[in-house]
A and B are shown apart, each in its own frame.
Chain A
Amino acid sequence: MAFQSDNKVIKWIEYRLPIFTLLDHAVGTYPAPKNLSYWWNFGSLAGLMLVVQIVTGIVLVMHYTPHTSLAFTSVEHIMRDVNYGWLIRYIHMNGASFFFIAVYFHIFRGLYYGSYKAPRELLWFLGIIIYLLMMATAFMGYVLPWGQMSFWGATVITNLFSAIPVVGESIVTLLWGGFSVGNPTLNRLFSLHYLLPFIIVGLVILHIWALHQHGSNNPLGIDKKDSRDTIPFHPYYTIKDLFGIAVFLLVFSIFLFYSPNFFGEPDNYIEANPLVTPAHIVPEWYLLPFYAILRSVPSKLGGVILMFAAILILFVLPWLDTSRVRSAKFRPVYKQFFWIFLANCLLLGVVGAKPPEGIWVLIGRLATVYYFAHFLVICPLVGWFERPRPLPTSINEAVLPKAAAAAGE
């Protein structure tokens, strides 16, 4: 099964370090189910965005100054004076949003097709950890320009830890390195913002390793049986991924060049002022659903606990979902609840962006209750009572019914 080549250099290297065999297994002859749809493109898109963020980030750091008195102006310096600085910064800024867009598609695809079920639980866990680290990294990055939203976002998020009984206040002081968000805070967040993406790269490698152990899930959610169910990753899926990348980058470019501040908040172009909180402080869009959950609970500690629980509950999902069938294609009841759940998440996002008054408080509470009910009540019960539709006997048969029938004759 080792990689074959006549090239002398490749042979020389391969004999000492079998890296070509490794790569060949990972992206070359790796047998992928032949029925993967475009929903399976978002994994590679997320990987691409990670690389884009690292490359642009490294260049930005060459021009940025992590000090409260200079951070804001150094970002403006990047925007106005550095050659193509505006472009690199806008790629980095919008790249974060598009990274999350890709990852959210990727996660909901996993939820729809049951990609978290045995034997892919660890693959799912690694994904959740990557998602958590992404949120931490994005939050820290948002602090660096030292605008009003940066400062107050950092204040609110770090204060979440003061909800912890007894040691909370000491933890917050430790995070700040002072009595409020200030220069020591900015410096440490900068350090970690540079570190975490590389940890994410490591986790992505583990994620892919775990993926290749049992192979990709597929729209039918059934296991592949023999070589008739699969095609080699290269060239079939490399070309499909490249096509997806082209489309994705096209959409990315529309925002990048025509509406680069679409995802941002105008208040962040005002330098941080510790005396005035902006009238509406909102986090970046990708954190809004969790922000809505935080605000829905009329207790500080309770809100913080529920917010973290909203993500951690994903870790137990493989056991909360009691159905043996993976794909929602064959689960008529779960399928409907999936769409309701997705709509509910979007609703939470809307609530998170609204001021916490009037009807929004009530809607936020109901949506929060439903969010947890989906995992704790609906998933177990539906798995129990639902009658799944009959599964096809093999991927090949479902995808190419005629060919399979002909072969059977």
Chain B
Amino acid sequence: MATTHGAAHAGQTRRDFLFLAAGAGVGIGAALTVWPFIDSLNPSADVLALASTEVDIGKVPLGQQLTVLWRGKPVFVKHRNPEEIEKARADDSASMPDPQKDAERVKKPEWLVMLGVCTHLGCVPLGNQGPYGGWFCPCHGSAYDTSGRIRQGPAPRNLEIPPYAFLNDTRIKIG
């Protein structure tokens, strides 16, 4: 009696094991098969290759802004005048959603380089507008100050600073 019971029990566990192993194998196989299809939607090699842009900033007059395209996104290169720099620094300790000092956002105070992409839902903010004298996003009303920091509206973060470097006094390389 005991042996029969044991044998039946053993058969049962072996079958269970095979069942679970086969199930797991099918599951993992399905996941591995699906992955190439999902990953094919990610940026392709040629898109990833468009890494950097060089910009001549020598001709941007004081107070004006140049907009260039980098990786399909607009980048603002703003030649700030002393009042704007002054205003940005004065607000360094004001309360804001994403606190940052103006000095952390620039390499040279008169040149503010940042992505012209609203951190809310990606519209291009308009320059010299809004209650803080910086940028104003027409889409849902986010207002940025003269340092590109978010001060009011639904956007959660300051305008992003892309990686860039000054090649000389009049040329920068973005990316």
A contact set with B: CB distance below 8 Å: 152, 155-160, 162, 173-182, 184, 188, 274-281, 294-295, 297-301, 303, 355-357, 361
Contacts and interface: CB of A to CB of B under 8 A. Distances in A.
B167 interface: no
Interface in B125-156: 126, 137-141, 153-156
B97 to A, nearest CB: 10
Nearest to B119: A300
B38 interface: yes
A182 B72 CA distance: 8
B155 A174 contact: no
9 contacts: A173-B43, A174-B38, A174-B42, A175-B41, A178-B43, A179-B72, A184-B47, A277-B123, A295-B140
B100 interface: no
B26 interface: no
A173 B71 CA distance: 12
A177 B69 contact: no
Contacts, number: 95
B72 A178 contact: yes
A275 B67 contact: yes
A277 B138 contact: yes
A275 B74 contact: yes
A16 B117 CA distance: 62
A156 B121 contact: yes
Interface residues of B, number: 29
> From DSSP, what is the main secondary structure of chain B's interface residues?
loop
Given A156-B121, A156-B139, A277-B123, A298 B153 contact: yes
A162 B137 CA distance: 17
A59 B122 CA distance: 34
B69 A275 contact: yes
Contact of B139 (A180, A188, A277, A357): A277
B101 interface: no
Contacts of A301: 156
A363 B119 CA distance: 25
A276 B71 contact: no
A351 to B, nearest CB: 12
Shortest beta-carbon contacts, A-B, top 5: A180-B72, A159-B121, A159-B122, A179-B71, A356-B141
A281 B156 contact: no
B168 interface: no
A275 B154 contact: no
B34 to A, nearest CB: 14
Given A279-B138, A281-B138, A155 B123 contact: yes
A294 B41 CA distance: 27
A177 B72 contact: no
B123 A180 contact: no
A136 B132 CA distance: 37
Nearest to B157: A300
A276 B124 contact: yes
B73 interface: yes
B102 to A, nearest CB: 24
Contacts of A300: 120-121, 154-156
Contact of A155 (B43, B116, B122): B122
A122 to B, nearest CB: 28
Specify which of A159, A175, A355 lies most central, judged by the most chain B CB atoms within 10 Å of its CB.
A159
B33 interface: no
Given A160-B121, A277-B124, A277-B138, A297 B154 contact: yes
Contacts of A294: 140
Given A277-B138, A277-B139, A303-B154, A184 B44 contact: yes
Specify which of A175, A188, A298 lies most central, judged by the most chain B CB atoms within 10 Å of its CB.
A298
Contacts of B116: 275
